[in-house]
């Protein structure tokens, strides 16, 4: 089926953009949503029976690592894109820490071209904020935005020089693209690999204090206020950061924020067995921090859920805990993991979908996150009740570094449509390309 007529029948339609949560059908034609309503005329259309499954705008992931170019043994744009749609994501933004770094319009062009050929999901490149992620010379933001960059970030190589960060934020106003901060003070993190507290003490591994994040979030919020730029805080993980963002929003600072599925559901106690798949930056935090992140997501302090999908090869994770690289894959587990907030009564299904699609699309100023007539037909079809055993080896990522490997998860993306084309179906797998 290529950009044909598709009718999804008998679904629970969840459209955060229209505050709609009702039963009905969705008709797709010419790559866009043609109609939404009850008992639509499906003549000539391929019919997908939803049998009460949820239909939502395709998820938009603000924070991913696709590893191409340079580290294709971990992931590439094709495998990352396939893994994304298998998790219900129709669009993903990819960080600039490739080899070479995406700090040049030619590299942004390359990623976009490669994604058009290889990836079933839309791919939005995030360009480096400074050349080579070195925190010294700012990148050509205007040219990069023309090439298709959607945001600027040095991600894990946090810009430690406050003067550089200030000027990056100031200059970003020219292009009205957010600057994304991975806010951890490198000196306070030092060699820390696990949240500092009872768990780091028990494990005997170097601790990374919550203060390292609290302090850099506070600095960057202050600089956002000073410059009037749009600051986006990546993977918020501490109670202090949530509170600082809440206060900054209240006084009108232009700040948005994301939280990962793992920081919403796992505490540092997950690290107690020394499983390097639980090593991530920032680290898994205390139960109080997890609770604060959940509250922040519920009350709107944190806008979006982003996976920070960070593939690493098995042989890299088979190292000593201090040596293994931080990060976990996340596309295919994100929906069932965050569904915990619905099961726990903290978010309605509609509000969860808003944080997975509508809000991240708005932050990136890209289409998506809407099922209104005329919107691109980017759709996730979701079964919130099905239980399945997650085996990363059977997933689409090239890597397997997941803390949920082998676990029974409830909820799954059962089909994904991008631009009106069915690209994934749980029975057939990834269909296109």
Partner 1 sequence: VIGRDLLGIEDLDRADIERILDTAEHMREVGRRVVKKVPTLRGRTIVNLFFESSTRTKASFEIAGKRLSADVINFSPSSSSLNKSESILDTARTLDAMDPDAVVVRHAVAGVPRQIANVLDAPVINAGDGAHEHPTQALLDLLTVRLEKGRVDGLTVAIIGDILHSRVARSNIYAFGKMGADVRIAAPPPMIPAAVETLGVKAFTNVREAIEGADVVMALRIQNERLSGTYFPSVREYSSTFGIDREKLKFAKEDAIVMHPGPVNRGVELSHDLTDHRPSVILDQVRNGVAIRMAILYLLAGRPQDGEPKLAVESGAES
Could you list the residues that contact partner 1 (CB under 8 A)?
196-198, 200-205, 207, 209, 273-274, 276, 315, 318-323
Cα–Cα nearest to 330, from 59, 83, 82: 83
Q: Which is nearer to partner 1, 41 or 323 (CB)?
A: 323
The two tokens of residue 429 are 């797998």
Question: Residue 117, Cβ neighbours under 10 Å: how many?
Answer: 9
Min separation Cβ 204 and partner 1, Å: 3
Q: How far apart are the first and last CA of the chain?
A: 12
Looking at the Cβ atoms of 66 and 271, the one nearer to partner 1 is 271
* Cβ neighbours for 92, distance < 8 A, ≥ 6 positions apart: 60, 61, 64, 66, 80, 81, 84, 121, 122, 123, 124, 309, 331
Q: Toward partner 1, which CB reaches closer, 200 or 267?
A: 200
User: How far is 103 from 336, CA to CA, in rounded Å?
Assistant: 34
The least distance separating partner 1 from the CB of residue 71, rounded to whole angstroms, comes to 17
Shortest distance in whole angstroms from residue 316 CB to partner 1: 8
- Which position among 104, 220, 268, 308 bears the catalytic label? 308
Sole residue written with tokens 């009108």 = 252
Pick from 310, 392, 395: nearest CA to 83: 395
User: Closer CB to partner 1, residue 37 or residue 198?
Assistant: 198
Its sign, for the CA torsion 349, 351, 353, 355, is negative
Beta carbon of residue 323, minimum distance to partner 1 (angstroms, whole number): 6
In Å, what is the CA distance from 322 to each residue of 207, 316, 325? 11, 11, 8
Asked about 21 being catalytic, the answer comes back as: no
Which of 297, 269, 295 has its CA nearest to residue 284?
A: 269
Tell the smallest beta-carbon distance from residue 2 to partner 1 (Å): 45
Q: Which is nearer to partner 1, 196 or 425 (CB)?
A: 196
State how far the Cα of 232 lies from the Cα of 179, in Å rounded to an integer. Answer: 6
Residue closer to partner 1 by CB (options 210, 353) is 210
Q: What is each CA distance from 238 to 135, 260, 325, in whole angstroms?
A: 24, 12, 21
- Closest CB 124 distance from partner 1, rounded Å: 34
Q: What positions carry a catalytic annotation?
A: 308
């Amino acid at each position: 089926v290529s950009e044909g007529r598709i009718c999804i029948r008998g679904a629970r339609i969840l459209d955060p953009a229209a505050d709609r949560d009702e039963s009905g059908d969705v008709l797709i034609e010419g790559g866009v949503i043609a109609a939404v309503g009850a008992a639509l005329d499906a003549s000539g259309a391929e019919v997908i029976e939803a049998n009460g499954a949820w239909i939502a705008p395709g998820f938009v992931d603000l924070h991913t690592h696709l590893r191409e170019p340079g580290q294709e043994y971990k992931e590439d744009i094709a495998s990352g894109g396939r893994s994304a749609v298998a998790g219900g994501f129709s669009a993903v933004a990819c960080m600039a820490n490739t080899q070479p770094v995406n700090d040049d319009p030619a590299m942004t062009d390359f990623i976009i071209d490669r994604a058009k050929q290889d990836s079933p999901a839309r791919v939005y490149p995030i360009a480096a904020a400074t050349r080579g992620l070195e925190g010294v010379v700012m990148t050509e933001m205007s040219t990069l935005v023309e090439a298709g960059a959607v945001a600027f970030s040095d991600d894990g190589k946090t810009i430690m020089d406050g003067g550089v960060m200030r000027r990056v934020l100031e200059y970003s106003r020219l292009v009205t693209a957010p600057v994304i901060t991975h806010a951890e003070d490198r000196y306070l993190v030092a060699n820390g690999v696990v949240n500092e507290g009872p768990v780091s003490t028990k494990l005997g591994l170097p601790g990374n204090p919550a203060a390292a994040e609290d302090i850099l979030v506070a600095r960057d919020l202050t600089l956002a206020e000073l410059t009037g730029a749009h600051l986006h805080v990546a993977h918020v993980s501490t109670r202090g950061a949530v509170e600082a963002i809440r206060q900054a929003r209240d006084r009108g600072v232009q700040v948005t924020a994301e939280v990962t599925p793992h920081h919403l559901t796992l505490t540092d106690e997950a690290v107690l067995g020394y499983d390097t798949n639980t090593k991530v930056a920032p680290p898994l935090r205390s139960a109080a921090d997890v609770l604060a992140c959940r509250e922040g997501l519920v009350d709107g302090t944190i806008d979006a859920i982003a996976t920070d999908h960070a593939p690493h090869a098995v042989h890299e994770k088979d190292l000593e805990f201090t040596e293994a690289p931080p990060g976990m894959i996340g596309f295919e587990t994100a929906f069932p993991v965050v569904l915990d907030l619905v099961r726990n009564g903290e978010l309605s299904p509609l509000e969860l979908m808003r944080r997975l699609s509508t809000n991240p699309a708005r932050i990136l100023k890209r289409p998506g996150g809407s099922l209104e007539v005329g919107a691109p037909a980017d759709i996730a079809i979701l079964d919130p009740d099905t239980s399945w055993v997650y085996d990363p080896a059977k997933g689409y990522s090239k890597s397997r570094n997941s803390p949920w490997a082998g676990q029974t998860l409830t909820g799954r993306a059962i089909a994904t449509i991008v631009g009106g084309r069915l690209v994934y179906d749980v029975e057939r797998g990834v269909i296109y390309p």
